[in-house]
Chains A and B, each alone.
Chain A
Amino acid sequence: MSKSNFSRRGVLKTGMVASAGLALPQYLRADAHAGFTNAPGESEVILGFNVPQTGPYADEGADELRAYELAVEHLNGGGDGGMMPTFSSQALDGTGILGREVKYVTGDTQTKSDAARASARSMIEKDGAVMITGGSSSGVAVAVQALCQEAGIIFMAGLTHSNDTTGKDKRANGFRHFFNSYMSGAALAPVLEAAYGNSRKAYHLTADYNWGYTTEEAVRTSTEAMGWETVNTVLTPLTQTDFSSYIAPVLNSGADVLVLNHYGGNMVNSLTNAVQFGLREAQANGQNFEIVVPLYSRLMAKGAGANVKGIFGSTNWHWSLQDAGSQAFVRSFGTKYGFPPSQAAHTCYVQTLLYADAVTRAGSFNPCAVDEALEDFEFDGLGNGPTLYRGEDHQCFKDVLVVKGKENPDNEFDLLEIVEVTPAAQVTYPADHPQFAGGALGSCNPGA
């Protein structure tokens, strides 16, 4: 008679432990093996694209997603390679990332911080995404960046312009390629001085949330430094649709410039209302009244139609740039989708390539290795001239475009014209600049 070593209790215990192990989220299992969250297997790596697929920025989100799909295609060796041949690093060879085929999952931020965190968490815990990227709002970027820091995941920000993303809310696991409010102010001020002189009185209408505050502060500081006076600053509710009661008092306030610190639907409506109230043709203090929109987006400018004509603003990138990288990207994107990419699409495409390149150069997906590879990384060929990913705050420093609404557009995409390419040196600031005060980068978290 043979004696078995298995007792009923032993089998139950073993079964329970095994079940618990299988039920653990994928990232915990990965930790155990590789020392960092969601270590990819040998054949594929999963990236998480977290973009607004519903809500007011859904069109911008759709363009971001197109750019991500294009980047994945290029990383896996498909298409014409886009910006990979123009990218100065040349570490990417079209065989995926470190030989693994790039796959992706998508999440819907809805441009709401809680929804964005939930979709990012789902992509990390259920889908095993090793990097999260995307978004069209600073509130979302800050929220998802903090989540990624806790989870031990790299976050490559999409469109986020508030100083705080790489200021008081910066995180070691987060990186921003997009420019910021300070840079807009620094780039715009000299152009505004040349166009409108240095004795102007500005009236600011500012969206009542984080991005609005930092943009108003940046533009106010830059314009006051060149001699402009700020006569009034008024906060407008984010949910405001009709700005007439805010616009109407501007003309007899003593101001001769209106600065609209608004983005998206707010910008479209406030600019439309300002033009309706005749501000573009008005005279004040013996000068032409002027309107300024610090942050332009071509997709949003389209919504304002002819109202953008002649109005200055700044942008991170524009499809009409003539450098080899921009041209390659526009050709690749335009051939695939039939229209030129937006600045949101550009920054998302570039962020994906930069992440893949950093992993390749580091030889590891470990967030701390990626961190090291991206910090103080200098590159070129991705559309904004020579660029530095500064290690102190994970902010890219590159040329900034000052643009103006085009008077006679050639086609429906030809809404903005580049007035000046402001050199990176002119928009660079010390990491401890007062507009970026507070918060600490901390150290990278691999999630182990």
Chain B
Amino acid sequence: MDQFILQILNGLDKGSAYALIALGLTLIFGTLGVVNFAHGALFMLGAFVAVTVSRLLTLSHKVVDETRTDFLGNPLQVDVPYIYDLFGQTTGDAIIDWAVPISIVVAIPVMVLIGFAMERGLIKHFYKRPHADQILVTFGLAIVIQEIVKYFYGANPIPTPAPDAFIGSFDFGVILGFDPNQIIYPYWRLVYFFFSVFIIGAVFAFLQFTTFGMVVRAGMADRETVGILGIDIDKRFTVMFGIAAAVAGLAGVMYAPINSPNYHMGMDFLVLSFVVVVVGGMGSLPGAVAAGFMLGVLESFASMSQVIDILPGINQIIIYLVAIIILLTRPRGLMGRKGVMEE
């Protein structure tokens, strides 16, 4: 039972990342009809916003410490962050410690701007082109973004820790009445799960309860008619692209403490997220979210050694196996709409 709960918890935080990325992918596909293979790169860029903010906060000047030596035996040059000069060491350390949450505030405008630039600068030229062209150009864009990030930040993972208050784990099992050490769960992963639920809720609320969202939903259902009514739906869809980029970016920012960001992390998630979108149903926002959590949990269960002992290799194929079964039984995915990508 404890293993069962543990793997559900693990699956939920993994599923949170899948759901957030898949949500953005579906938003873009549902509004603009574009299959955006650069969406994983937006997730990665979000994580690197956290890295950049962390570096900016620790921007330092050198002070020579004559009592210590560097690796060459020269007097050690100690890095003193400028933030110490501005706020003192205690406050400065506290600000640096909270670099990742601070990055959320920075990431929203940065990612919206990147989304606008990507959509206006490149992707809008491919709206009327076949999906294959869109996939090729966005995949190429993802590689370009990756290489740019690698050029500036290197290929190695860069540690970007959570604030000290959220480092470590708590015994969830004891709360549920189990023996100690049965269900240990890291604080930050719980934060990540609730953050994802909040973002997903906010996106749904925005689409459901605002006039802007209503127009966007109408545009998703029948773009032409909305256009005939004199509404500039393209402009609204561009805004949605920016929002989708921000959602992916925020998912990346918050993911940075879970696994040290590297330039390739977007690609690691991209393929899985596409499977999530297809399983959820192309263009279906609730489908993407549900499939994200479902596949995250299934992946966790398939990684249990008891399961691998019975079905060796199942951990590597479970997501694709489930995708095949669902697409065979429900060709439009869990909540797919008729007519989407069927022309």
Which chain A residues numbered 3 to 19 have a C-beta less than 8 Å away from chain B? none
What CA separation (Å) do A299 and B184 show in the bound complex? 30
> Which residues of the partner chain A approach B167 to less than 8 Å between Cβ atoms?
276
Task: Place the interface of chain B in its size category.
Answer: 35 or more
* Interface flag for A411 (CB, 8 Å): yes
Instruction: Report whether B303 and A246 are in contact in the complex, using a CB–CB cutoff of 8 Å.
Output: yes
What CA separation (Å) do A302 and B260 show in the bound complex? 10
Instruction: Report whether A282 and B260 are in contact in the complex, using a CB–CB cutoff of 8 Å.
Output: no
> Which residues of the partner chain B approach A300 to less than 8 Å between Cβ atoms?
156
> Which residues of the partner chain B approach A59 to less than 8 Å between Cβ atoms?
154-156
What CA separation (Å) do A294 and B143 show in the bound complex? 33
> Would you give the shortest CB distance from A60 to chain B, in whole angstroms?
8
Instruction: Report whether B304 and A249 are in contact in the complex, using a CB–CB cutoff of 8 Å.
Output: yes
- Cross-interface CB contact of A269 among B155, B181, B259, B315, cutoff 8 Å: B259
> Which residues of the partner chain B approach A330 to less than 8 Å between Cβ atoms?
71-72
**Of B13, B181, B188, B299, which is in contact with the most chain A CB atoms at under 10 Å from its CB?**
B181
* Interface flag for A304 (CB, 8 Å): yes
Residues A268 and B258 in contact in the complex (CB < 8 Å), given A237-B316, A241-B265: no
Instruction: Report whether B184 and A304 are in contact in the complex, using a CB–CB cutoff of 8 Å.
Output: no
Instruction: Report whether A334 and B71 are in contact in the complex, using a CB–CB cutoff of 8 Å.
Output: yes
What CA separation (Å) do A222 and B62 show in the bound complex? 46
Q: Which of A50-58, A355-363, A385-393 forms part of the interface with chain B?
A: A50-58
Which chain A residues numbered 289 to 322 have a C-beta less than 8 Å away from chain B? 299-300, 302-307, 319-320
Instruction: Report whether A411 and B70 are in contact in the complex, using a CB–CB cutoff of 8 Å.
Output: yes
> Which residues of the partner chain B approach A58 to less than 8 Å between Cβ atoms?
150, 154-155
What CA separation (Å) do A239 and B154 show in the bound complex? 19
> Which residues of the partner chain B approach A235 to less than 8 Å between Cβ atoms?
308
> Would you give the shortest CB distance from B61 to chain A, in whole angstroms?
16
> Which residues of the partner chain A approach B262 to less than 8 Å between Cβ atoms?
56, 265, 303
Q: How many contacts between A and B, using CB within 8 angstroms? A: 128
C-beta contact mask, B182-198 vs A, less than 8 Å → 1, else 0? 10111011000000000
* Interface flag for B31 (CB, 8 Å): no
The size of the chain A interface, using a CB distance under 8 A, is 53
Residues A268 and B300 in contact in the complex (CB < 8 Å), given A244-B189, A245-B10, A303-B159: no
Which chain A residues numbered 84 to 140 have a C-beta less than 8 Å away from chain B? none
What CA separation (Å) do A300 and B154 show in the bound complex? 12
Instruction: Report whether B10 and A234 are in contact in the complex, using a CB–CB cutoff of 8 Å.
Output: no
> Which residues of the partner chain A approach B305 to less than 8 Å between Cβ atoms?
232, 234, 249, 253
- Cross-interface CB contact of B6 among A56, A249, A340, cutoff 8 Å: A249
| A-B contacts, 24 listed (Cβ < 8 Å) | A55-B155, A56-B264, A59-B155, A236-B315, A237-B316, A244-B14, A244-B300, A245-B7, A245-B11, A246-B303, A248-B7, A249-B3, A251-B184, A252-B2, A269-B260, A276-B188, A276-B189, A303-B262, A304-B159, A305-B159, A305-B161, A307-B159, A410-B76, A411-B76
A-side residues, CB < 8 A to B, are 55-59, 232, 234-237, 239, 241-242, 244-246, 248-249, 251-253, 265, 268-269, 272-273, 276-278, 281-284, 299-300, 302-307, 319-320, 330-331, 334-335, 339-340, 410-411, 413-414
